[in-house]
Amino acid sequence: MKISERLEKLPPYLFAQIDKKIDDAKKRGIDIISLGIGDPDKPTLTNIVDKMAKAITEPKNHDYPPYQGTSDFRKASADWMKKRFDVELDYDNEVLALIGSKEGLAHVFFAFVDRDDIVLVPDPGYPVYKNATILAGGYAYNMPLLKENKFLPDFDKIPEDIAKKAKLMFLNYPNNPTGAVATLDFYKKAVEFAKKYDILICNDQAYCEMTYDNYKAPSILQVEGAKDIAIEFYSHSKSYNMTGWRLGFACGNKEAINALGIIKNNIDSGVFKAIQEAGIEAYNTPSEEIEKLNKMYQKRRDVAQSCLAELGWEIEPTLGTFYLWLPTPNKMSSSAFCEMVIEKTGVVLVPGLGYGQNGEGYFRIALTKEEDVLKEAFKRLKEANIRFQ
Ligand SMILES: *Cc1c(COP(=O)(O)O)cnc(C)c1O
């Protein structure tokens, strides 16, 4: 049996060594505190669970769903976009239900990328962008996200011949893994660049509702003319604690939505209709409930930040996502640092290299644990004399 070339081309699984260290630590009886996974630790909001409990009993929800999503779900998604961003969408042609946004993000490559086509991907970035490029036979060109540029790509640094050959560009703010945010002005530049070179922008909005200090994330579709060359991917996962439910939607440029829909029609058969009903209810969540969750993460961020300051890491407060992105001490390699921390303290951090070569020299902390657990984790670092400087 021989696996495909495309599968062989995927980079090796970077966390194997970390997983081994975790196993070793467990065997030695060390209690593990994982600040690794980007998965909300609180349950799905109750209004959504209650809606699902009803929807699941209804036989009308038990058959195959429409491929593109129910018209109710698409309309509710378009209404939410209007209310949240003042963006107008035709829900029959410009909105598509997804089985979680990762599903749509991974499939969009098969609608646009032919062999050796170029895709512009943020580095560090969510690994799907690069890996799905490879699976589709394309070539991922890194747009470095550097601290000195506030972790935004510099479009002027992309060579003309690369830009001319690029078919897709991926953006993601609030950003995983750096926690950086983008302004509408940045999106204007992105749209201008994409129009000049005829590139479809795929904007990943997974964390658009997870923001702090009164910061509100914009949509790229608020930029005039953006709909000519952009689509966005929205997810119920992080906003409403629904990671296990698998629900999201894509919206924006009609031709792109149609092309993604054709790929999907040939691969999946849509989202369980009861989940789509629950997803509509999610949009009706009182804003105070979302605010409450964000206050909780904001508090954790502040706790982590003051503990980190004691250890010599001085950082600016992040305005979005539940991640902190920090440099390793003494320019230590990200893997060596994270392995050392697990071995000495049982605290699991994620090496930045796992998000791309520009992630080297960094590690990611996920604020997906209660405050007292976070404090315990930093106490262990202090006791092991692990400091930035
Ligand atoms: C979590 C995450 C997603 C995936 O969300 P799902 O809707 O659960 O598939 C997409 N993009 C980024 C950057 C994420 O961190």
> Which residue, judged by its Cα, is nearest atom 4 of ligand 1?
102
| 3-state SS assignment for residue 299 | helix
Count of C-beta atoms within a 10 Å radius of residue 4? 8
**27 CA → ligand 1 middle, Å:** 32
Q: What is the mean pLDDT of the chain?
A: 96
Least confident of 17-26, 27-36, 47-56, 157-166: 17-26
Q: Please tell me whether residues 274 and 308 are part of one structural domain.
A: no
Residue 48 CB contacts under 8 Å (≥ 6 apart), including other chains: 240, 242, 278, 279, 281, 282, 285
Q: Please tell me whether residues 117 and 214 are part of one structural domain.
A: yes
> Which residue, judged by its Cα, is nearest atom 1 of ligand 1?
206
Residue 358 CB contacts under 8 Å (≥ 6 apart), including other chains: 123, 124, 142, 144, 145, 146
pLDDT (tens digit, 9 = 90+) per residue, 71-96?
999 999 999 999 999 999 999 999 99
> Does a structural domain hold residue 48?
no
Domain that holds residue 313: 5-43+288-383
- pLDDT the model gives residue 54: 98
CATH code, 335: 3.90.1150.10
- Kind plus residue range of the DSSP H or E element containing 128: helix 127-135
Instruction: Determine whether the shortest distance from the Cβ of 364 to ligand 1 is under 6 A.
Output: no
Domain final residue, candidates 283, 300, 321:
283
Domain final residue, candidates 268, 283, 298:
283
Q: Report residue 389's pLDDT band, with 50, 70 and 90 as the boundaries.
A: confident
pLDDT (tens digit, 9 = 90+) per residue, 256-295?
999 999 999 999 999 999 999 999 999 999 999 999 999 9
CATH code, 174: 3.40.640.10
- Extended beta strands in 106-188, E state: 118-123, 139-144, 166-172
The count of structural domains within the chain is 2
Upstream peptide bond of 177 is cis (omega within 30 degrees of 0): yes
Instruction: Determine whether the shortest distance from the Cβ of 77 to ligand 1 is under 6 A.
Output: no
> What atom of ligand 1 comes closest to residue 176's alpha carbon?
13
Instruction: Determine whether the shortest distance from the Cβ of 248 to ligand 1 is under 6 A.
Output: yes
Instruction: Determine whether the shortest distance from the Cβ of 172 to ligand 1 is under 6 A.
Output: yes
- Ligand 1 pocket test: which of 37, 44, 96, 101 has the largest number of ligand atoms within 8 Å of its C-beta? 101
**382 CA → ligand 1 middle, Å:** 32
> What atom of ligand 1 comes closest to residue 172's alpha carbon?
13
> Does a structural domain hold residue 49?
no
- Ligand 1 pocket test: which of 238, 243, 323 has the largest number of ligand atoms within 8 Å of its C-beta? 238
> Does a structural domain hold residue 133?
yes
Q: How is residue 73 written in tokens? A: 């779900």
Q: Please tell me whether residues 88 and 212 are part of one structural domain.
A: yes
pLDDT (tens digit, 9 = 90+) per residue, 123-134?
999 999 999 999
In the predicted structure, residue 234 carries a pLDDT above the cut 80 = yes
> Which residue, judged by its Cα, is nearest atom 2 of ligand 1?
206
Instruction: Determine whether the shortest distance from the Cβ of 208 to ligand 1 is under 6 A.
Output: no
Q: Please tell me whether residues 147 and 239 are part of one structural domain.
A: yes
- pLDDT the model gives residue 309: 97
Q: Please tell me whether residues 201 and 266 are part of one structural domain.
A: yes
Instruction: Determine whether the shortest distance from the Cβ of 212 to ligand 1 is under 6 A.
Output: no
> What atom of ligand 1 comes closest to residue 321's alpha carbon?
15
| 3-state SS assignment for residue 282 | helix
> What atom of ligand 1 comes closest to residue 98's alpha carbon?
7
Instruction: Determine whether the shortest distance from the Cβ of 232 to ligand 1 is under 6 A.
Output: no
Q: Please tell me whether residues 229 and 321 are part of one structural domain.
A: no
**108 CA → ligand 1 middle, Å:** 14
In the predicted structure, residue 16 carries a pLDDT above the cut 90 = no
pLDDT (tens digit, 9 = 90+) per residue, 155-209?
999 999 999 999 999 999 999 999 999 999 999 999 999 999 999 999 999 999 9
Q: Please tell me whether residues 151 and 296 are part of one structural domain.
A: no
Residue 316 CB contacts under 8 Å (≥ 6 apart), including other chains: none
Q: Please tell me whether residues 210 and 89 are part of one structural domain.
A: yes
Q: Please tell me whether residues 257 and 308 are part of one structural domain.
A: no
What's the pTM value of the predicted model, to 2 decimals? 0.97
Q: Please tell me whether residues 279 and 292 are part of one structural domain.
A: no
